[in-house]
Amino acid sequence: MAEERESFESQWAPSNVTEENLKEMVVHGVLPAKEIIGWRPAYGEAFPTPNTHEVVETWNSLPMGDETAQALTLLNRIMKLKEQVQAAKIAELKKRIETLEKDKGSLIKERESAIKDVEDRKIKSQAQFDILVNKIKNLEGARDEVAKATMHLIQAMFYNNNGPSTIDLVEVFDKLRAAPDTCFKNIKEAGSMGASMALAMTKSLYPKIDIDAIDGFAEETSEEDAL
């Protein structure tokens, strides 16, 4: 060991000693690492220790003061807080996305329901319109029948005052007997048509109101009162 120390000490000279020689001196314990001038391990660089020859890194070999330790602790806490905040934001965004997806599904269902409701109302309105047209045609036919009966009555009265008539009086009386019923029927048809038109108008103005026409008269109402 003494011979090795002398061999390494003999190499110490400003002109001949290199950085590699200094490292070997440190490894063999000839010169402590802290006394080497001009060479220090870089931060994070591995180097052998003088006594144990174990390779260590400057991460652990360099001592840290209280302020440095506190700064590192604070930095770690800041990084953890950032991660927690980011995770919370991601979770909140996921919830909002799920809520928006549910709202989107509900809106699609409401839209489809509204479209179906509109189509149903169109079909129902068309059916009601067709019914009204048929009722108008029936009323026009009843009007023509009343006009014919009235014409025969006028002709009978005219010929009765001006001589014999070829018109069958039985037919005239039959038409006269049927005239009240025909008029009553026309009145009912007109009232029904008016009520249907009022109902259709009410439904068009207030679509949320669910009302339908009834066949007959309201409670405690007779035909005479209705007429």
Please report the pLDDT score of residue 113 as a whole number.
84
Least confident of 81-95, 163-177, 179-193: 163-177
CB contact at 8 A, 47 and 41:
yes
Ordered by start, the domain boundaries in the chain are 2-61, 115-226
Is 20 in a helix, a strand, or coil? Answer: helix
- Name the more confident of 165 and 172: 172
- The model's pLDDT over 51-104, given as tens digits with 9 standing for 90+, comes to 544 444 444 444 455 677 777 888 888 888 888 888 888 888 888 888 888 888
Least confident of 89-93, 103-107, 163-167: 163-167
- Name the more confident of 53 and 169: 169
Please report the pLDDT score of residue 212 as a whole number.
66
Angle between helical axes of 169-205 and 66-162 (0-180°, round to 10): 170
Q: Which residue has the tokens 């953890």?
A: 80
Which residue, among 42, 69, 35, 72, has the nearest Cα to 57 in the 3D structure?
Answer: 42
